[in-house]
Amino acid sequence: MPHADVHYDIETGDAKPTFGVVSDVHAYITTVYQHLTILGAMACVGCAVQLKVGIFMFWPMLLGSIAALYFVYTSTSYPFRLSMFLTFGFLGGWSVGPIISIYKIPGDLVLTAFALTTLIFVCFTASAMYSKRGEWLHIGGILSSCITGLFAVWVLSLFFTIPFFHTILIYGGLVVFSLYVAYDTAIMIENANNGNKDAMIDSINLFIDFLAIFKRILIILAESRD
Average pLDDT over residues 5-17: 40
Residue 58: count of CB within 10 angstroms of its CB? 9
Contact (CB, 8 A) for 89 and 43? yes
The residues, ordered by sequence, that sit 6+ positions from 117 with a Cβ below 8 Å of its Cβ are 210, 213, 214, 217
Element (H, E) at 151: helix 140-159
Q: How far apart are CA 151 and CA 158, in angstroms?
A: 11
Distance CA 13, CA 199 (A): 30
Per the CB < 8 A criterion, the answer to whether 47 and 96 are in contact is yes
Residues forming a β-bridge with 185: none
What contacts 94, CB < 8 A, 6 or more positions away?
46, 47, 49, 50, 61
* Prediction pTM value: 0.88
Taking residues 12-36, what's their average pLDDT?
71
Query: Using CA atoms, how far apart are residues 226 and 13, in angstroms rounded to an integer?
Result: 61
The 10s digit of each residue's pLDDT in 62-87 is 999 999 999 999 999 999 999 999 99
Residue 220 confidence (pLDDT): 97
In the structure, what pLDDT confidence band is assigned to residue 226 with cuts at 50, 70 and 90? low
